[in-house]
């Protein structure tokens, strides 16, 4: 095999029933000079047999003896890549045939300061029909924009110039939530981002059963809280500078992002009865209010949060009822 230009990385844990679809989408790429590294993260199913059935010399299979998490799986693959560019694909996603070719073309047309090229993503039903799009248009220096929200989305859309990962940038195994956001924040300290404004990745959001998700609900609450706490510890000095001009997004956009984080912290903190989450929730709500002091909704949420969990809970329910009533009123008037 020629020295590969692109190293594709697929982490997998007990996804043998769906992994072949992801691998096929790589094999069907119009750009053929790639290697695929599948990292089996301690699976107990037929993952190895699924990979070996393809019998393609461009595919390598690595295995963790025990499950170590998706961050560790991606990092294991990063340590062994041979390509000049690295692309990530989650085992339940698929690439469209031109994805690698179109991202490489953008790299060729850009300066070496561009270290990441990402694409749009389509969320599909089980028949492959796109139901929703994730279609951001953020490019250039995103160091400060990314402080407020994960503007890029799924790693399955991302290709990275491997030179930048040689600087020690890796996925943080501590993070069970927000690990991709943290990865982009690390990259943004060193390089610029570009985009192919086309849907080149499909994600089927009806693959996972509701029963499995229900079992994971409490774990997910904890993962979200721990993720936000770790991210806040890493980047709080930068976030605390929100009153000055940061990046290219407006204060209203920043405020909405921070308000959303505050809301999520409150929700997951309430489920787990975590006081630290309530305190951080108030902090983010205050950030949102500072950026848009004339936004009545954000101000009322912050004031309600100061009065305690019960008051804030009641305010959220009241607001939800009012929004539902107004939406029905608008519908009747159409």
Cβ atoms of residues 13 and 69 within 8 Å: no
pLDDT at 206: 60
Mean pLDDT of successive 10-residue stretches along the chain, which has 334 residues: 86 95 98 97 96 96 96 97 97 96 97 97 85 93 91 96 94 94 96 98 65 47 87 75 70 90 87 85 88 87 80 74 64 49
What helix, strand, coil percent values describe the chain, rounded to 5? 50, 20, 35
pLDDT at 272: 87
Distance of CA 314 to the CA centre of its chain: 31
Q: Which DSSP helix (H) or strand (E) runs through 131?
A: strand 130-134
Nearest in space to 134 (alpha carbons), one of 116, 110, 118, 146: 118
Nearby residues of 266 by Cβ (< 8 Å), 6 or more positions away:
277, 278, 281, 305, 312, 316
Rounded to two decimals, the pTM is 0.87
pLDDT at 211: 36
pLDDT at 250: 86
Q: How far apart are CA 192 and CA 120, in angstroms?
A: 17
pLDDT at 208: 44
pLDDT at 303: 84
CATH number of 6-204: 3.90.550.10
pLDDT at 271: 84
Q: How many residues does the chain have?
A: 334
Q: How far apart are CA 314 and CA 319, in angstroms?
A: 9
Q: How far apart are CA 27 and CA 23, in angstroms?
A: 6
pLDDT at 144: 87
Nearest in space to 36 (alpha carbons), one of 18, 46, 51: 51
- Domains of the chain by residue range: 6-204, 210-333
Cα torsion 227, 232, 238, 241: sign = positive
Distance of CA 197 to the CA centre of its chain: 18
């Amino acid at each position: 095999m020629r020295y590969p230009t692109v190293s594709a990385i697929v982490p997998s844990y007990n996804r043998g029933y769906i992994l072949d679809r992801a691998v096929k989408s790589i094999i069907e790429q119009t750009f053929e000079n790639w290697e695929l590294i599948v990292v089996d993260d301690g699976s107990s199913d037929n993952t190895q047999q699924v990979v070996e059935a393809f019998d393609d010399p461009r595919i390598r299979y690595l295995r963790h003896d025990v499950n170590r998490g998706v961050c560790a799986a991606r990092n294991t693959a990063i340590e062994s890549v041979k390509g000049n560019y690295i692309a990530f694909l989650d085992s339940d996603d698929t690439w469209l045939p031109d994805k690698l070719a179109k991202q490489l073309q953008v790299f060729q047309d850009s300066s070496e300061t561009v270290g990441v090229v990402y694409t749009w993503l389509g969320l599909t039903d089980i028949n492959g029909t796109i139901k929703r799009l994730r279609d951001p248009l953020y490019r250039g220096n995103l160091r400060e924009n990314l402080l407020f929200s994960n503007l890029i989305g799924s790693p399955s859309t991302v290709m990275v110039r491997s030179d930048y990962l040689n600087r020690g940038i890796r996925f943080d195994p501590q993070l069970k939530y927000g690990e991709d956001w943290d990865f982009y924040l690390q990259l943004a300290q060193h390089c610029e981002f570009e985009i192919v404004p086309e849907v080149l990745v499909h994600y089927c959001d009806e693959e996972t059963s509701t029963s499995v998700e229900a079992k994971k609900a409490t774990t997910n609450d904890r993962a979200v809280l721990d993720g936000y706490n770790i991210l806040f510890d890493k980047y709080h000095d930068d976030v605390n500078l929100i009153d000055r001009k940061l990046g290219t997004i407006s204060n209203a956009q920043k405020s909405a992002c921070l308000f959303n984080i505050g809301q999520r912290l409150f929700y997951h903190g309430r489920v787990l009865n975590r006081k630290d989450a309530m305190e951080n929730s108030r902090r983010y709500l205050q950030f949102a209010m500072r950026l848009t002091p004339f936004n009545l909704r954000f101000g009322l949420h912050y004031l309600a949060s100061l009065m305690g969990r019960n008051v804030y809970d009641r305010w959220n329910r009241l607001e939800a009822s009012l929004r539902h009533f107004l939406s029905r009123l608008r519908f009747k008037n159409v």
